[in-house]
Amino acid sequence: GVTQSPTHLIKTRGQQVTLRCSSQSGHNTVSWYQQALGQGPQFIFQYYREEENGRGNFPPRFSGLQFPNDSSELNVNALELDDSALYLCASSSLGQGSYGYTFGSGTRLTVV
């Protein structure tokens, strides 16, 4: 499956944070989503074979990396209070077809 770390995190406004994800073995695509309380997940960006393959409506202070070993990172700089949310990592094998993304359980980020 997809595992994310840490499960919970508290940061101060202005700080930087790195969230980690270990994708399902063999999956070549990872996407990150932000889910605010009471809302559906919102697409941040997608990485395919270690390159950004698409981006949602998020500012450049949200950045990511994908590594060859099925792991990836989401970095957020200059944290704002509104960045408090559940951050979800999802992996897939692009072109696999009907099985879609497998989501991790997320990292709950609280910015104070």
Partner 1 sequence: GESVGLHLPTLSVQEGDNSIINCAYSNSASDYFIWYKQESGKGPQFIIDIRSNMDKRQGQRVTVLLNKTVKHLSLQIAATQPGDSAVYFCAEATGTYKYIFGTGTRLKVLA
Question: Footprint of partner 1 on this chain (CB under 8 A)?
Answer: 2, 29, 31, 33, 37-43, 46, 53-54, 56, 88, 90, 92, 94, 98-106, 108
For the bound state, the minimum distance from the C-beta of residue 10 to partner 1, rounded and expressed in Å, comes to: 14
The nearer residue to partner 1, 17 or 33, going by C-beta atoms, is 33
Nearest 5°: phi and psi at 61?
Answer: -70, -10
- Residue 23 is given by DSSP the state P
The nearer residue to partner 1, 14 or 54, going by C-beta atoms, is 54
The nearer residue to partner 1, 56 or 63, going by C-beta atoms, is 56
Omega prior to 59 cis, within 30 of 0? no
Nearest CA among 66, 89, 87, 69 for reference residue 25: 69
